[in-house]
């Protein structure tokens, strides 16, 4: 049964930081409902990095809600704008990507977005299709649609100008090109994080300038990463990638700071809003945040890897990380995860000073002096293949965690 425009509005507003303009969105939904025509929802992705993390997925999950309401998503891969790089929030200009890097990253993006989106209700477009064909006269007309003063309203440009940090003229074209994408796609809605406010509103401006109906901007909150301070970012190392191994994803979710648990439930899951609201009540009633975080890790890992992989990741976490005798801050050793056996890693343990010799290590194993993920290691178990996060205890005080 199709939901009415008013019912759709309630779903769309849920979790959004801001909608510009709500009245226009309701009008679009009413026309779509009456004409039985899906709205076109645009999401622009600048392929500057090959991995999508839960921060990106906040926006993707909102688009999935719109798809479930019957609307169509257009994922716009900025293979042309990626040659400039989005300057949003940057203290300096970014190095342009090579064509090869842009193509490789775009392919990886496409593989990952369908972990969230409905492929049958999604079209993937590349903006080089039209931007590469603009001649110089058309570029000048595009530039004439706004002013330098308007561009300097952007916080990042304004700050760089005031700090006398160079701003390349080509950087002014990034929001203009993103806006032109909206014109080309005749976008009804563009979705992005709150850091994309200027670029998305520029799309509204250019659509009006070119005689089109203005797109509505839906802005989703930015989600902080594992440090609890900065927005989730691969470059900052505080991210949870949607393609990371189940056991890695599960462990990382368990590392989320307690104050962010509710926000992750709200923005990074598909849980019913009423059940999410109950999380606050449970926290206020004094329930241990670790219990609730365990539920969150199960839900998020299950979303991206399925129930079986989630259960295996949970068992792995409980074995490797919930043993009290294993301390948190221990040295790590880089190994070929999923390929090397414990016996093959002994020379590295010797070289790194964890044990004096292979014979000493074997002797300790035979004397029950070596533990693997909290369990005593036997001679027969030396052919066990190591995985990311496995912990080896040698004697009483020597610990090492294997990482890739």
- The four Cα atoms 275, 276, 282, 284 give a dihedral, to 10 degrees, of -140
Token pair listed for 349:
């343990």
Q: Same domain for 296 and 396?
A: no
232 domain residue, yes or no:
no
In terms of pLDDT, which residue wins out, 296 or 356?
Answer: 296
**pLDDT band at residue 1, thresholds of 50, 70 and 90?**
low
Question: Length of the chain in residues, anyone?
Answer: 404
**Tokens standing for residue 178:** 């993103």
Min mean pLDDT across 100-104, 284-288, 366-370 is at: 100-104
The reported pLDDT for the residue numbered 399 is: 81
Could you give the percent of the chain with pLDDT greater than 90?
A: 42
For residue 21, say if its preceding peptide bond is cis, omega within 30 degrees of 0: yes
More confident residue, 153 or 203: 203
Tokens 């009540």 locate to 281
pLDDT confidence of residue 93:
46
Cα 296–chain centre separation: 16
What pLDDT, on a 0 to 100 scale, did the predictor assign at position 276? 83
Nearest to 127 by CA among 211, 40, 43, 205: 43
Judge whether 234 is annotated as a binding position. Answer: yes
Sequence-separated contacts (24+) of 379-385 with Cβ below 8 Å: 381/342, 382/341, 382/342, 382/343, 383/341, 383/342, 383/343, 384/341, 384/342, 385/338, 385/339, 385/340, 385/341
Percent of the chain surpassing pLDDT 70: 92
Averaged confidence pLDDT in the chain: 86
Please indicate, yes or no, whether residues 165 and 259 belong to a single structural domain of this protein. no
pTM here is 0.72
Closest by CA position to 188, among listed 62, 15, 72: 72
Record the tokens describing residue 364, joined without a space.
């300790």
Q: Among 188, 222, 256, where does a domain finish?
A: 222
131-151 pLDDT, tens digit each: 999 999 999 988 888 888 888
Residue 211, CB-side half-sphere exposure with 13 Å CA sphere: 0
Is position 256 within any domain? Answer: yes
Do residues 210 and 185 lie in contact, with contact meaning Cβ atoms separated by under 8 Å?
Answer: no
- Calpha distance 30→24 (Å, rounded): 10
DSSP H or E stretch at residue 143: helix 136-143
Helix, strand, coil shares, percent, the chain, to 5: 50, 15, 35
pLDDT band for position 329 (cuts 50, 70, 90): low
Higher per-residue confidence, 109 vs 193: 193
The answer to whether 295 and 288 have CB atoms below 8 angstroms apart is no
pLDDT at 320: 63
Domain count, the chain: 3
The 10s digit of each residue's pLDDT in 73-124 is 999 988 888 766 555 544 444 456 677 777 777 778 888 888 889 999 999 9
Residue 236 lies in a domain: no
238 domain-assigned: no
| Domain that residue 392 falls in | 332-402
Q: Are residues 150 and 177 in the same domain?
A: yes
237 within a domain of the structure (yes/no): no
Lowest average pLDDT, out of 48-52, 271-275, 350-354, 384-388, goes to 48-52
Tell me whether residue 231 is in a domain.
no
Q: Is residue 193 part of a domain?
A: yes
């Amino acid at each position: 049964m199709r939901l009415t425009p008013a019912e759709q509005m309630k779903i769309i507003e849920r979790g959004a930081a801001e909608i510009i303009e709500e009245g226009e969105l309701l009008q679009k939904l009413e026309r779509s409902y009456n004409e039985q025509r899906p709205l076109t929802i645009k999401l622009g992705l600048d392929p500057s990095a090959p991995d999508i993390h839960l921060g990106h997925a906040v926006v993707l999950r909102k688009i999935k809600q719109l798809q479930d309401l019957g609307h169509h998503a257009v994922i716009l891969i900025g293979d042309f704008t990626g040659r400039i790089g989005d300057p949003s929030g940057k203290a300096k200009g970014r190095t342009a990507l090579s064509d090869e890097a842009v193509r490789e990253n775009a392919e990886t993006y496409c593989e990952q977005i369908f972990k969230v989106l409905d492929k049958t209700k999604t079209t993937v477009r590349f903006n080089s299709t039209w931007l590469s064909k603009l001649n110089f006269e058309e570029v000048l007309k595009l530039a004439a649609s706004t002013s330098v003063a308007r561009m300097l309203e952007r916080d990042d440009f304004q700050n760089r100008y005031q700090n006398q940090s160079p701003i390349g003229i080509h950087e002014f074209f990034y929001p203009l090109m993103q806006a032109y994408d909206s014109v080309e796609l005749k976008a009804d809605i563009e979705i992005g994080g709150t850091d994309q406010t200027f670029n998305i509103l520029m799309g509204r401006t250019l659509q009006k300038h070119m005689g089109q109906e203005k797109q509505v901007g839906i802005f989703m909150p930015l989600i902080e990463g594992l440090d609890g301070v900065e927005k989730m970012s691969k470059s900052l190392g505080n991210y949870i990638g949607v393609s990371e191994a189940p056991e890695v994803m599960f462990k990382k979710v368990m590392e989320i700071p307690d104050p962010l648990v509710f926000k992750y439930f709200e923005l990074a899951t598909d849980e019913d809003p009423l059940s999410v609201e109950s999380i606050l009540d449970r926290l206020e009633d004094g329930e241990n945040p670790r219990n609730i975080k365990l539920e969150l890790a199960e839900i998020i890992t299950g979303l991206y890897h399925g129930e079986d992989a989630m259960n295996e990741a949970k068992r792995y976490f409980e074995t490797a990380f919930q043993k009290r005798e294993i301390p948190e801050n221990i040295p790590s050793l880089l190994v070929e995860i999923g390929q090397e056996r414990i016996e093959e890693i002994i020379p590295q343990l010797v070289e790194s000073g964890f044990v004096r010799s292979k014979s000493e290590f074997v002797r300790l194993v035979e004397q029950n002096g070596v533990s693997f993920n909290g369990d005593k290691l036997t001679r027969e178990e030396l052919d066990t293949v190591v995985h990311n996060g496995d912990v080896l205890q040698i004697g009483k005080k020597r610990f090492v965690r294997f990482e890739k």
